[in-house]
Structure 1
């Protein structure tokens, strides 16, 4: 089944995180790209990749990181949670409460006829407001975490490479200094 990973969710998440950390771009560009992807995941329009690409371009992020961030954040398992959180946050911000009996309008009929005008006020407007607020908050959190992870990953990689070069030099009998090329 295409919704469920073949091995496990943690392995899939590890794969995406390593793909992001190994991108050949500045830590800011990668972190900004991931933040743009996470920001776009909250929106109800289903255009996550387009929104992520536009935001990525605005904040000078890495496009691949933005698309990976949108794929991780906006997958079919998390989208209902993100949309529900966006809608509830938007209602809270707008001080709009639903009646106790459920949705304020015939949602099924509106979806069947795809009436944007009828969908805007009760559903899409609160979702857009909530998505913007939550997207900014989680985008900033993911920016900080990704930038920190990029710096840590690159420092560890630099140390491993330096240790390997040092052990290679020991094995070959060179010190790696200026005079070692003439030996």
Structure 2
């Protein structure tokens, strides 16, 4: 096939590049910035899409960030591709600080004391909750018995505090990313229009340019 990768990546290589992209994080960030600026939409719509993706990434809806970003972007008339790009603010590098901040702030807002071991084992709690959901789903079609006890504890001790603590920072960072994205998109689009106008101006000044001059 024409578009198939020449160097097929192994699963280990794909996982490694997800943690540390080939060329480094600066190159990855520059690529994202380049893609944002070239999106064919108004700067404001691109900014709203970016903000939608950033905001949803501060919630505990892991596995649904892409879908959630698309839904919010659709509701606020943002660019859908920009919303997908925005979700990458929560990645292997930022996952731990975002989670720890959201949990600490959420417990503080709710007036509860946070157990340090809860933050340390947060990944395990999400994994176990996912398996419980999967078990209960299959229990509908089999003779297995549904068990919601663990999910109730997870919802009370992890999901709600995380959500409460993540909304505020998510809104603030989303607003900041909206402003930055709009400025980048405006500057790029203005520069592109100027370059096009200069090119057209040069073509008009060139003798024999255009169909009539051939």
Interval of TM-score (by shorter of Structure 1 and Structure 2): 0.7 to 0.9
2:153 is the counterpart of 1:118: yes
2:111 is the counterpart of 1:95: yes
State the 1:5 CA deviation. 1.0
- Residues 109, 166 of structure 1: CA spacing in aligned structure 2 closer, same or farther, 3 A cutoff? closer
Partner SS state of residue 172, structure 1? coil
2:159 is the counterpart of 1:142: no
2:75 is the counterpart of 1:58: yes
Question: CA contact under 8 A between 2:54 and 2:170: conserved in structure 1?
Answer: yes
Aligned length: 176
After superposition, the C-alpha distances for 1:125-162 in whole angstroms (9 at most, x for unaligned) are 11001121111111111111111211111111111111
Find the aligned partners of 1:81 and 1:57 in 2 and give their Cα distance: 28
Q: Which moved more, 1:137-146 or 1:82-91?
A: 82-91
| 1:1-183 to 2 correspondences below 5 Å | 1-3=16-18, 4-46=20-62, 47-70=64-87, 72-98=88-114, 102-103=117-118, 112=128, 114=132, 115-172=150-207
Question: CA contact under 8 A between 1:34 and 1:65: conserved in structure 2?
Answer: yes
Structure 1: which 5+ residue stretches go unaligned?
Answer: none
Find the aligned partners of 1:38 and 1:166 in 2 and give their Cα distance: 41
Question: CA contact under 8 A between 1:42 and 1:79: conserved in structure 2?
Answer: no
Question: CA contact under 8 A between 2:125 and 2:154: conserved in structure 1?
Answer: no
Find the aligned partners of 1:165 and 1:94 in 2 and give their Cα distance: 61
Question: CA contact under 8 A between 1:41 and 1:82: conserved in structure 2?
Answer: no
TM-score with structure 1 setting the length: 0.83
Structure 2: which 5+ residue stretches go unaligned?
Answer: 1-15, 133-149
Find the aligned partners of 2:107 and 2:188 in 1 and give their Cα distance: 40
Find the aligned partners of 1:77 and 1:40 in 2 and give their Cα distance: 17
- Residues 109, 30 of structure 1: CA spacing in aligned structure 2 closer, same or farther, 3 A cutoff? closer
Partner SS state of residue 41, structure 2? coil
Question: CA contact under 8 A between 1:86 and 1:131: conserved in structure 2?
Answer: yes
Question: CA contact under 8 A between 2:104 and 2:114: conserved in structure 1?
Answer: no
